[in-house]
A and B are shown apart, each in its own frame.
Chain A
Amino acid sequence: MSLLPKSPKARRRLMLVAAIAPVLALSVGLALWGLGDSVSFFYTPSQAEQARPAAGRSIQLGGLVAHGSVVKHADGSVEFTVQDQHAIDKVVFQGDLPDLFREGQGVVAVGAFRHDGVFEAKRVLAKHDEKYMPREVSKALKAQGEWRGDGSAPAYESPAKQGGV
C-alpha cells in the first residue's frame, strides 16, 4: 500500500485512471482493428478496374444499371451489368431486387468480386425514393462528367417526399 498516494483525492484519481486506461486501450485497439478490417470501399466499375480489390474482399460497387442488361432467371438469380463512363462490370445476385431497382438507375451492390471477375452481390440497394441516386454514385458520376441533372426522369417533382424514421 505504500506505493499508493496518501491523499484520498489523489488516490481516487489514480483509481479512475487505472479503470479508464484498460478500457480506453481496449476500445482504441478494437476500433483501429475494426476500421482496418471491416471498412468496405466504394468503387465505380472504372475505379474498381484501377484499384483491383482482391477477390472475396467485401466492397460496394456502384453505378448505373445498363439498359437491357437485366436477366431474371426462374431459379431466383438475377444478372445485370453496372456501368460508368469507362468500364462495365457484370453482377450476379441471388434474391429479391429492391422495389425501386430499374434499368438506367443508380444502384449500389454490396458483395465481392469472384476470381473470374464477376461481381457477386450479397445485397442490392436502391433507395426507397424514386429520385434516389446513391450519394457516392452521383458524386463519382459527376466527377466523370456523366451526370445529367437530378436523377433520371422522376415521375413527378416533389420537394420533400419522404419522411419518417
Chain B
Amino acid sequence: MLVEFGAFALALALAFSVLQAGLSAAARVRRSTTLAAAGEGAAVAAFLGVAVAFAVLVHAFVVSDFSVANVAANSHTEKPMLYKVAGAWGSHEGSILLWCLMLTGYGAAAAVLGRGLPRGLRASMVAVQGALGVVFLAYTVFASNPLARLARAPVEGQSLNPLLQDPALAVHPPFLYAGYVGMSVAFSLALAALIEGRVDAAWARWVRPWALAAWSLLTVGITLGSFWAYYELGWGGWWFWDPVENASFMPWLVAAALLHSAVVTEKRGALAGWTVFLAIAAFSFSMLGAFLVRSGVLTSVHAFALDPERGVLLLAILGVTAGAGFSLFAWRAPALSPGGVFAPVSRESALVLNNILLAAATAAVLLGTLYPLIREAVTGEAISVGPPYFNLTFTPLMALLLLILPAGPLLAWKRGDAAGVAQRLWACALLALAVGLAGYALVNPRQALASAGVGLGVWLIAGAAAEILERTRAFRGPAAESWRRLAKLPRGAWGMTLAHLGLGVFVLAAFVETGWRQERAETLPVGGALDLGGYHLVLEGVSAVEGANYDAERGLVRVTRAGQPACIAEPERRAYLADGQTTSEVALCYRGPNHLYVVLGERRGGEAAPVWLVRAYWNPFASLLFLGPAIMALGGLVSLSDRRLRLAAAARRQAEPQPQEQPA
C-alpha cells in the first residue's frame, strides 16, 4: 500500500512539474505575480512529491520489501543497514529517482531563494527548471519506475554488488548527483537570461552561488569515488582515465571555468555570452555524464547498471535539453552586450586565459572519451584510449594553467602591472624551482617529470601564501595593521585562496605519488616476507573470519622498518554469500601522509603448503591526494558563505554603487 502511495506521489510530482513549467511560463508572458507565485508553489509541491516517493523507496529497502522489483534486485536481508539505505540509489531506477529528487529540490530552493531576482527572470528560471523536471520525471515514471512491483515476491533479494558495499560509495552518489544536478540551476538561469535578453553583473552574481555549491559538491563526490576506487578495487591507483571517471570530471572542469568567467561578468560585465554558454555547457556535460555512465556505450572498468535501450532515451533527453539550450544561445546571444574593455595584462585577461585552457582541457578529455565511439562508427575498429593519451594532452594544458595561476589573483582589474606581480612572485618561483631541482637531485630514483610537477605544486602553494601576504600587506607595515586586514578579509577571498591551495596540494601529491610509487607482488607462505620501500612485511598468518554477509580470509601482516615495528596490516579477501562474488579488502598503513597499501590475493598451491599472493604498494603522499580536493571543496563552501553572494544581499546591493577593490 505504502509503495503504491509512493508511486502515486511520484506521478503527482510529474503533474506538479508540468504545472510549474506552464504556470511560470504564463506568468512570464502575462507578467502576473499570482501565476508566478502559483508556479513557485508547484515547484515546492513537485519536490515534496518526489521526496515522498524517495522516502517510500528507502523504507522499502530498510524493511526488505522484496515485492518491489528494485529492492529484490539490489537488496538482501543480511545486508548491513547502511547498505540497505544506500541500495536505494545503487540501481539505475533508484539513482534516477535520486537525480529527480535533487532536481526538484534545487528547483524548489531556487524558486524560494530567488525572491530578490527580477520578476521576469525568476518566472523564466522557474519555468525552465520545471521543464527539466517534466523531462526527467516523465522518464522516471514511464521508463524507469523505481517502485514497480513484482508479480511474485522472492523470499530473498539478490543483494547489492559487494564492491559497492562500502561507506565511501554509499555517500558518493548523493554528492555526485548534488553536484551534477546543481548545474541545472545555472542552466535555468542562463536560459532565463537569454529569454529576457539581458546578462549583467547582477545575473552573474546570482549564478555564482549555485555554480559554487554544485562545483564544491561535485568535488566531494569525485574525490569520494576516487578514494573508493583507490582502496576498494585494490589496484593501487586512484585515477584510471576511465570513461566513467571522465564523465564526472568534464562537468567539473566546465563548472570551474564557469566560476571564473562568472567573476569577470560580475565585476566587469565582460564575457557575458561566454558565461551563459558555460552555464549551459556545465549541465549538458552533467547529462552527458549520466548518459555515458548509465547507457554503457563505452566499456568501463567500473560497475553500473547498463541498459542500452533506456540509454537511447537518456540520449534523447540529453539531445533535446542541451540542443534547446544551445539553440536558444545561438539565437539570442548576439544581442548580449559585449561589456567592458581590458588591457592584455589584467585580471580579466588572466581569467580569459584560464577559461581558454580549461575549455581546451575539457575538449581533450571529451575527445579521448568519445574517440572510441567515433572510430568504431567510422572504421568499425574497436579501440580504447588509455592513460597515455590523457597524460599527453590534458597534463600539458593543465601545467600551463597552473603556471599562470598564482599571477591571476595578484593582477589588478582592467590594467595589471606585470612587473609588480613578478616582483611579488619571484620568491615563490625561486622556492618552487629549488624544491623541484632538489627533488630531481636528491630523491632516488630520479624522475625529471615528477620533479617538475613537485615544483609546480610548490609554486601553487607558495602562490596562495603570497596572495594572503599581499592582501594583508604583511611584513610591509605594522603587524597590528596586517592582523586587522587578515581578520577583515572577505570570505570570498579566503575561499579562492583555499581552493588554489588545495589544488596545489593535490598537484604536489599527484606527481609525488605517480613518480615515486613502488609496487611488489609475491606469493608468500605463512612466515614469508617481502621488502618494499624500506619496509619489511611478514605474513604472520591467515585466519578465517565471518562477516555480516560474507566469509573472509584475513591476513596478518606485520610491518617493520629498520627493525622497529611500524604497523600491522590486516587485508581481507571476502567471499560474499549472496552471490558468491569475492572482493579484496585493502589494508592501509598510514605513515605520515604516505600509505603502505597491502592486498591479500588468491590462495595458491595445495592444501598442504598454501601460499597467498600478497601485493604491496608504497604510495608516497597518498593522503594529500584526497586532502587537496577536500581543501578545494572547503574553499568553495567558505566562498559560498560570503554574505555578498547571498541572493537577498546581492539584490540589495544591486541598487548600491559597487565598492572598488573586490577579490575574486
Contact = CB atoms under 8 A, between A and B. Distances in A.
Contacts of A159: 69, 73
B132 interface: no
B383 interface: yes
A162 B161 contact: yes
A118 B73 CA distance: 41
A164 B364 contact: no
B581 A23 contact: no
Contacts of B382: 41-42, 136, 139-140
Contacts of A73: 604
B161 A76 contact: no
Interface residues of A, number: 55
A33 B364 CA distance: 12
Given A163-B89, A165-B304, A130 B581 contact: yes
Contacts of A125: 301
Nearest to A16: B352
Contacts of B580: 155
Contacts of A33: 392
B322 to A, nearest CB: 22
Contact of B90 (A42, A155, A163): A163
Contacts of B341: 8-9, 12
B384 interface: yes
Contacts of A97: 602
A162 to B, nearest CB: 4
B547 interface: no
B452 interface: no
A23 B360 contact: yes
B73 A158 contact: yes
B82 to A, nearest CB: 14
Nearest to A162: B303
Given A38-B389, A39-B384, A160-B92, A99 B583 contact: yes
Nearest to B297: A135
Contacts of A128: 161, 163, 302-303, 581
B129 interface: no
Contact of B360 (A9, A27, A34, A162): A27
Contacts of B486: none
A95 interface: yes
Interface in A31-56: 31, 33-35, 37-42
Given A27-B397, A35-B385, A94-B521, A160 B368 contact: no
**Max chain B Cβ within 10 angstroms of own Cβ: one of A76, A127, A156:** A76
B590 interface: no
Interface string B330-342: 0000000010011
A153 interface: no
B513 interface: no
Nearest to A143: B380
B164 A38 contact: no
A81 interface: no
Contacts of A34: 368, 388-390, 392-393
B397 to A, nearest CB: 6
A163 B301 CA distance: 13
A16 B342 CA distance: 11
Given A34-B392, A96-B615, A161 B92 contact: no
Nearest to A108: B299
**Max chain B Cβ within 10 angstroms of own Cβ: one of A73, A160, A165:** A165
Given A15-B344, A165-B303, A76 B393 contact: no
B299 A134 contact: yes
A164 to B, nearest CB: 4
A72 interface: yes
Interface in A42-93: 42, 58, 60, 72-76
A42 B384 contact: yes
A27 B363 contact: yes
A57 to B, nearest CB: 12
A127 B172 CA distance: 21
A165 B244 contact: yes
Contacts of B15: none
A163 B397 contact: no
A162 B304 contact: yes
Contacts of A75: 523
A162 B306 contact: yes
B305 interface: yes
Interface string A90-132: 0000111101100000000000000000000000010111100
Contacts of B164: 162-165
B371 interface: yes
A162 B159 CA distance: 10
Contacts of A23: 356-357, 360, 397, 400
A60 B384 CA distance: 8
A74 B299 contact: no
Given A128-B161, A164-B303, A96 B521 contact: yes
B91 interface: yes
Contacts of B523: 74-76
B225 interface: yes
A38 B383 CA distance: 10
Interface string B93-105: 1110000000000
Contacts of A158: 73, 158
Interface string B355-396: 011001101100110010001000001111111111011001
**Max chain B Cβ within 10 angstroms of own Cβ: one of A19, A37, A73:** A19
Contacts of A156: 158
Given A15-B344, A30-B396, A31-B393, A76 B604 contact: yes
Interface string B246-269: 000000000000000000000000
Contacts of B581: 99-100, 128, 130
A38 B392 contact: yes
Contacts of A39: 371, 375, 383-386, 389
B605 A74 contact: yes
A76 B521 contact: yes
A121 B579 CA distance: 28
A38 B385 contact: yes
Nearest to A13: B338
Nearest to A136: B382
B384 A40 contact: yes
12 contacts: A12-B342, A27-B360, A31-B364, A34-B393, A42-B384, A72-B602, A95-B521, A95-B601, A95-B615, A99-B584, A160-B93, A162-B161
Interface of A: 8-9, 12, 15-16, 19-20, 23-24, 26-27, 30-31, 33-35, 37-42, 58, 60, 72-76, 94-97, 99-100, 125, 127-130, 134-136, 139-140, 155-156, 158-165
Given A23-B400, A37-B389, 8 more contacts: A75-B523, A76-B613, A96-B521, A96-B613, A128-B163, A136-B382, A164-B304, A165-B172
- Give the top 4 A-B pairs by smallest Cβ distance, nearest first: A163-B90, A38-B388, A42-B382, A34-B392
